[in-house]
Structure 1
Amino acid sequence: MINVLGCIVNRHNPWLVIVAVLICGAGSWVTARLVRRAFATHGMQRAGWQFLAATTAAVAIWCTHFVAMLGYEPGVPVTFDPVLTIVSLLIALVGSFLGIFVACSGWTRATPAIGGALVGLAIALMHYTGMTAYRVEGIVMWNRPYLVVSIVFSVVFGALAFDQAARKPGAANIGGSVIGTRAQVATVAGLLATAIATLHFIGMCAFGIEPLAIDSHVANPAALEALALAVAGMAFIIAGAGLVSYLLDDSVRAESVEHLRTMALSDMLTGLPNRAGFNERLDTEVARTAAHGGKLALVGIDLNRFKDINDLRGHHAGDEVLRILALRFKSLVREDEFVARVGGDEFVALRRFSQRETLDDFLNRLETALFRPIRYDDWEVNSGASMGVAIYPDDATSKTVLINNADLAMYRAKADLTRSVCFYEPKMDETARARRSLAADLRDALSRGQLSVHYQVQTSIASGEICGYEALLRWEHPRQGFISPGVFIPLAEENGLILAIGAWVLREACSRAVTWQPPCKVAVNLSAVQFAHADLPSLVAEVLEQTGLPPSRLELELTESTIFADRERSLETLQRIKALGVSLALDDFGTGYSSLDTLRSFPFDKIKLDQSFVSEAESSRQATAIIRAVLALGKSLGIPVLAEGIETQDQFDLLAGEGCDEVQGFLLGRPVPLAQLVASGKLSLSGSPVSAAAAAAFAAGEVG
């Protein structure tokens, strides 16, 4: 080692040695980064990084050698053979390409080390070819031990460098240690620089000259230094180009990753964070609140009447409403505040706070944004929203429970028309558990015979005769008694049970009605979920065929909101039902949409006036006016009108005087089991097999 250092100090220009070392270090560092990228990519990208890495390595190898050679001071005239000099450069290029290609090939676990050894061998071959191109006036002598050692060092350190480059960050490396990416690059660069430097400087110690012409003219040192600096400058430019390409790719990759991350965490329609973005932010805010104290409010937001906007104005209008609300949210949020869209018309908001006034201010700003009218084209909408608030850690100590409690509070706000904001309360859990328990009981109610059909009479005003019965579903819970349809029907719709229950009601009503004397109509209600998801015409045709009920005796009732989700499909469905000979009734007319276009476009045979107008008719002039308008509309369109909810004689007389066709209500008869109608004499059963079975069931007390 002392001999090597002495050789460097005594025979080299120190400034050019420094330049050569800088070239070696910088070139090795850039090569290490490019080789690491080549190992991490595939296909054409890998080929591109292999090309850049090989070019940079060859420049570092050759320029280090050439600059150091120009700094070598043999004391005799010096020239260079141009052909062999160029050959030495080509050896560096070809050897680097071959070594890096083999190292990245992945043929065996040892290929990175083999490729590195090939690069080390190319360094040696390039060096000694370049030394052959070195022309001096003297006798060249070689120290074979130094020569062999230089080659061995170059091959070994080259193999170690590329084996290290092939390892993944965090894996065990040299000495069994675990290092990160930056340290790994530095290690690879150091090993490669050692391979280049040891080869050159040990090899130069193996090189000796016996001058033949002591007084001969020596080459101009200033010219050699200028040439060395020019070569060094080109080396730094090429290495810099490799580094810049790496950094540019790194920057583009980082920008692409960030862009993809932003897209993955953002809602494409509104630009707000989406559910994934919300979950990420919630994790951060919960951790921050737990670490630094304070409280975190989670606000669940659900728009009111948003479905009406989509149904009446189209989905493009609904999308525009969401975009406008998103712009309002973006303009109102401040530091420590966050709003995201997590569903169709569902938003969530987060706010860290220590004073309740801070949260109240945030909720007030959200409420203002949600309830301020929205203008779109030539119409104005005021959707409003229901907001449920749960607070961490007061109401929950985990993210899942916090979200669930905010949802419970939001559903409470939606059910309470007097409040738009509702805070979570522990008793809401009890309500939710009771609802889930009731849904579980409803799932088994049909198989356990707890569901039954009651019938309410429908009467013609003109003749006073019974013209039909409406089939109404009832549920007698074994512990809670009769459950209101207003409670269990929405529950069945939410849980997907309405399809099986609705089919059972239709089949039950038709099989009973076929035995009636006189043969009155039976009216069966259709759920919106049942209408949207089931192949209703096929079900109706199948039930009529199986029960033998004439189609003219079946009337299906549906509300206008049922058909608004998909008007074209709804029209096709209703036309297929009409083609069977079944009649259709528009239920709850006067509430909801009450569009005249619906009566014009859809084949309804009857209009059912909602009972809310009947109940207010005696005290409200507006209700009376609406009743008259609906009756006049029915007469002009040739569609009979049935009024629901008749409870007093005055109501009956009012409707009779206004020309109503049919009525239904407690005044005329409450919904009762079929057995009770038979017992009262209002209905008798025919002598058909079905009726005999039904009569036997009535006698045994099994029905109703």
Structure 2
Amino acid sequence: MWAEYKAEIRDSWRILLKPDLPSELMLSTVLNALPGGLFWQDRDSRILGCNLQFADDAGADPIDLIGKTIFDLRPSAMADAYRADDLEVINTGRPKLAIEEPLLLSNGSITWIETDTVPLRDAAGEIVGVLGTYRDISERRRIDDERFRLAIELAAVRRAAMTSMHDALTGLPNRHSLKEKLRNLLATSIKPEERCAVVAIDLDRLKTVNDLYGEAVGDELLRNVAGILSDLAGAREFVARVGGDEFVLALTFESEAVVYRRLGDLISIFERPLMLAEHQVAISVSLGVATTPADGADPDLLVLRADMALNSAKAQGCGRAVRFEPEMERDARDRALLERDLKIAIRADEIVPHFQPIIDLRTGSVVCYEILARWSHDERGQIPPQRFIKIATDTGLIGALTINLLRRACREIAMHCSGAPRIAINIAPVQLRDVTLPQKLLKVLSDCQFPPERLEIEITEDAIVSDVTMAKNILGSLKSVGVRVALDDFGIGYSSLQYLSELPFDALKIDQSFVKSMTDSTNALMIVKSILQIAKNLDLEVIAEGIETQEQALLLRTLGCELGQGFYLGRPSPAFSIANNRDAEEMENSGPLATIAPCSTRRTASPKVRSR
């Protein structure tokens, strides 16, 4: 900048240099013709002289400025910065150039200037102060700031685009960019015989990992899986993360045998535990496969059909690959229609309770009825409970279904059944994560004037494992008002004994698989005996499920099991038939039973299906 000023001074000097002008006037004219401010000051920052631009910016006459310091003219913070630059030049003897700094003008506004400061020397060469020049760079700063703002905005747009098209955790393409990448892959086949496989991938047991080790380990697992899948993908292939535990892998192939061998290798990788931080994590993957051209050429259709195949794979068990079949699409369409009808049926309170008796094996009397859901569809007839209960659970309808079912059961049992038997209702795992569940159940009991101590809720181990603390709080709230709690399907879980000691159970139900096998299997019989002994030690009531023969009933009674349930003892039936059934039993079985005979409605059939 100083070089520019020197050139400007020379140009001005040539213009103004005239024989009849005194040298002092000539110098003053040159300095005032400069396009910026100019000043010189001593070692203490006292002004020795300046041009008109500097004086105008300071709001004073040039003569009046002589002897003043920068601290007299500028705010202290600004003056300190100027003084620091001056001292650096004085102490080092080197110029300090192109200093961008703010300047307070006489009108109170602030502008930006670029300052050059050089040492001011006397005839002996000693530094006696500084000489400085500056020019206004506000417009340049404005342009630079605008460019910077635009650059920031552009970077933000690019980041937003990156974020919208990629998964933040793994960096993989997300669901939004999957379609475009798949379309590009399908359009760029290198060989005529090349085909594409779209593989929908689900991580089995990711939720268990999160529950056991925390979400940080779960996130690390997802990043590891993303790396494994990315390594499997070739140069033109790719993997995307499309959901919490779901990925899509796009592969190219010429031979189906090759692609299925690759998928077999992928399944094998996840059969071995993965090392994550300090944990060894065991998971598996389920795969659904759709291929071109057999299953379509549209990206959306291929992903949809791969998802249908994945659902089938998960239904068949973990760690397998299933390819799309046309009937899967028909099943999916049928399920969607059934889901729609189920929503309507729940809203219209068309899901009705049936009551299966729980019998005292010593006397034959009914002590409780388990409430089981039944749905008679206008067009399809009776819908199997295992089908509509799963749909209700998957779609979040299970809560409303349970409340409606309990309300009807409370009213119907009071209307049709003499005495005061308990009723038992199943609570789905997802409901035990609803902190408002106790209030919802108790409101129904209050509305129906049904005593809480006559209600028993049945839960399974998988309803507890995700959050034992929450389960303990919810069950504790219900227990405090008299509601009983039973652990269902006891013996088939991994940690049933642990939960018996931690949670406030009143009863446990021996899983029907042991009851069915105990007359033929020594191991099953020993398990039943052990469960009965555990329950006796913990002062818990025991209910044997799935009793289908007299032999099973007699053996359980001999072993000391007090309560039983099963089709031999009584089939689920509507409330209006309960009274008739009980009358028949009382006539047939008066007094303590020497043998346990089937009632009029008992006959061997397939196992029950519950309302959960």
Task: Calculate the TM-score normalised by the size of structure 2.
Answer: 0.68
The secondary structure found in structure 2 opposite 1:297 is strand
Q: Aligned-pair distance for 1:520?
A: 1.0
Partner of 2:333: 433
Unaligned runs of 5+ in 1: 1-54, 71-78, 94-241, 685-704
Alignment of 1:116-515 (within 5 A): 262-289=162-189, 294-376=194-276, 380-417=280-317, 420-446=320-346, 450-515=350-415
Whole-angstrom CA distance in 2 between matches of 1:635 and 1:379: 38
Instruction: State the secondary structure of the residue aligned to 1:492.
Output: helix
Q: 2:562 aligns with which of 648, 661, 665?
A: 661
Could you tell me whether the CA contact under 8 Å between 2:413 and 2:575 is conserved in 1? no
SS in structure 2 of the partner of residue 371 of structure 1: coil
Native 8 Å contact 2:12 2:33 kept in 1: no
More helix by share: 1
Report if the CA contact (8 A) 1:524-1:555 is conserved: yes
For the Cα contact (< 8 Å) 2:490–2:496, is it kept in 1? Answer: no
SS in 1 for 2:289: strand
Which amino acid in structure 2 is aligned with residue 626 of structure 1? I
Residue 531 of structure 1: aligned partner: 432
Change (3 A) 1:89 1:635: farther
Measured at CA, do residues 543 and 418 of structure 1 come closer, stay the same or move farther in structure 2, by a change above 3 Å? closer
From 542, 546, 552, the equivalent of 2:443 is 542
Displacement of 1:354 after TM fit?
3.5
Structure 2 residue identity aligned to 1:584? V
CA distance 1:243–1:640, shift in 2 (3 Å): same
What fraction of aligned residue pairs are identical, expressed as a percent? 35
Q: Which moved further from structure 2: 356-365 or 422-431?
A: 356-365
Is 2:498 the counterpart of 1:597? yes
Shift of 1:597: 2.6
Contact 1:329 1:369 in 2 (8 A): no
Moved more, 448-457 or 483-492: 448-457
Aligned length: 478
Task: Compute the displacement of 1:507 (Å).
Answer: 0.7
Task: Judging by fraction of residues, say which structure has more strand.
Answer: 2
Shift of 1:257: 6.5
Q: Deviations over 1:5-53 (max 9, x none)?
A: xxxxxxxxxxxxxxxxxxxxxxxxxxxxxxxxxxxxxxxxxxxxxxxxx
Contact in 1 for aligned 2:12/2:30 (Cα 8 Å): no
Cα distance in 1 for partners of 2:552, 2:278 equals 41
SS across alignment from 2:270: helix
Distance (whole Å) between structure 1 residues aligned to residue 369 and residue 545 of structure 2? 12
- The Cα shift of 1:608 comes to 1.1
Using the alignment, how far apart are the partners of 2:254 and 2:150 within structure 1? Answer: 42
| Counterpart for residue 461 of structure 2 | 560
Which residue of 87, 90, 99 maps to 2:35? Answer: 90
Gap change, CA 1:649 and 1:377, over 3 Å in 2 = farther
One-letter code aligned to 2:335: R
2:272 maps to amino acid: R
Q: Which amino acid aligns with 1:559?
A: T
Residues 561 and 593 of structure 1 are in contact (CA less than 8 Å); yes or no, is this contact kept in structure 2?
no
Between 590-599 and 451-460, the greater mean CA deviation after superposition: 590-599
2:525 corresponds to 1:632: no
Three-state SS of the structure 2 residue aligned to 1:672 is coil
Name the CA distance, whole Å, in 2 between partners of 1:336 and 1:347: 17
CA distance in 1, matches of 2:565, 2:447: 29
In structure 2, C-alpha distance between the alignment counterparts of 1:410 and 1:466, rounded to whole Å: 45
More divergent stretch after superposition (531-540 vs 517-526)? 531-540
1-structure distance, mates of 2:30, 2:181: 62
- What is the rounded CA distance, in whole Å, between the counterparts of 2:346 and 2:583 in structure 1? 28
Partner of 1:138: none
SS for the counterpart of 2:309 is helix
Render the CA deviation track for 1:608-627: whole Å, top value 9, x for unaligned: 11112222323433333332
Residues 336 and 508 from structure 1, CA distance in 2 versus in 1: closer, same or farther, beyond 3 angstroms? same
8 Å CA contact retained: 1:513, 1:519: no
Moved more, 283-292 or 667-676: 283-292
How many angstroms does 1:293 deviate by?
8.0
Distance in 2, Cα, partners of 1:552 & 1:673: 23
The residue aligned with 2:135 is: none
Shift of 1:670: 0.9
**Structure 2 CA distance for aligned equivalents of residues 368 and 68 of structure 1:** 84
**2:269 corresponds to which letter in structure 1?**
A
The one-character-per-residue Cα deviations of 1:527-546 (angstroms, maximum 9, x if unpaired) are 22333347222122222222
TM-fit CA distance, 1:434: 0.6
Distance 1:86 1:478, change over 3 A: same
Q: Which residue number corresponds to residue 642 of structure 1?
A: 543
Partner of 2:581: 680
1:411 Cα offset (Å): 0.3
Partners of 1:377 and 1:683 lie apart in 2 by 65
Partners of 1:265 and 1:273 within 8 A in 2: yes
Secondary structure of the corresponding residue to residue 299 of structure 1: strand
Aligned residue type for 2:321: V
1:463–1:354 distance in 2 versus 1, CA, 3 Å? same
Q: Contact 1:374 / 1:380 at 8 angstroms: preserved in 2?
A: yes
Please give the secondary structure, in 1, of the residue aligned with 2:548.
Answer: coil
- Distance between the aligned counterparts of 1:91 and 1:577, measured in 2? 84
- Give the secondary structure class of the aligned counterpart of 1:296: strand
Distance 1:521 1:350, change over 3 A: same
Look up the SS of the partner of 2:188 in the other structure.
Answer: helix
Over 3 Å counting, the alpha-carbon distance change for 1:581 and 1:500 in structure 2 is: same
Cα distance, 1:82–1:287 mapped onto 2, change above 3 Å: farther
Whichever residue aligns with residue 595 of structure 1, its letter is S
Query: What's the secondary structure of 1:388's corresponding residue?
Result: strand
Contact 2:352 2:374 in 1 (8 A): yes
Aligned residue type for 1:569: M
Task: Report the Cα distance in structure 1 between the residues aligned to 2:184 and 2:215, rounded to whole angstroms.
Answer: 34
Change (3 A) 1:274 1:679: same
Deviation at 1:636, TM superposition (A): 1.6
| Correspondence for 2:48 | none
Counterparts of 1:246 and 1:280, CA distance in 2? 34
Q: Output the CA distance in 1 between the equivalents of 2:462 and 2:404.
A: 23
Tell me the equivalent position of 2:594: none
Gaps of 5+ in 2: 14-22, 39-141, 586-612
Change (3 A) 1:593 1:683: farther
Counterparts in 2 of 1:422 and 1:91: CA distance versus 1, 3 Å: same
Secondary structure (helix, strand or coil) at the match of 2:35 reads helix
Q: Which moved more, 1:410-419 or 1:433-442?
A: 410-419
- Residue aligned with 1:564, SS: coil
Larger radius of gyration: 1
Q: Deviations over 1:580-637 (max 9, x none)?
A: 2111111122223433231122111111111122223234333333323322221121
Q: 1:622 aligns with which of 523, 543, 568?
A: 523
Deviation, structure 1 residue 526: 1.5
Matched, 1:588 2:533: no
Query: Residues 453 and 473 of structure 1 are in contact (CA less than 8 Å); yes or no, is this contact kept in structure 2?
Result: yes
Contact kept, 8 Å, 2:359 with 2:367, in 1: the verdict is yes
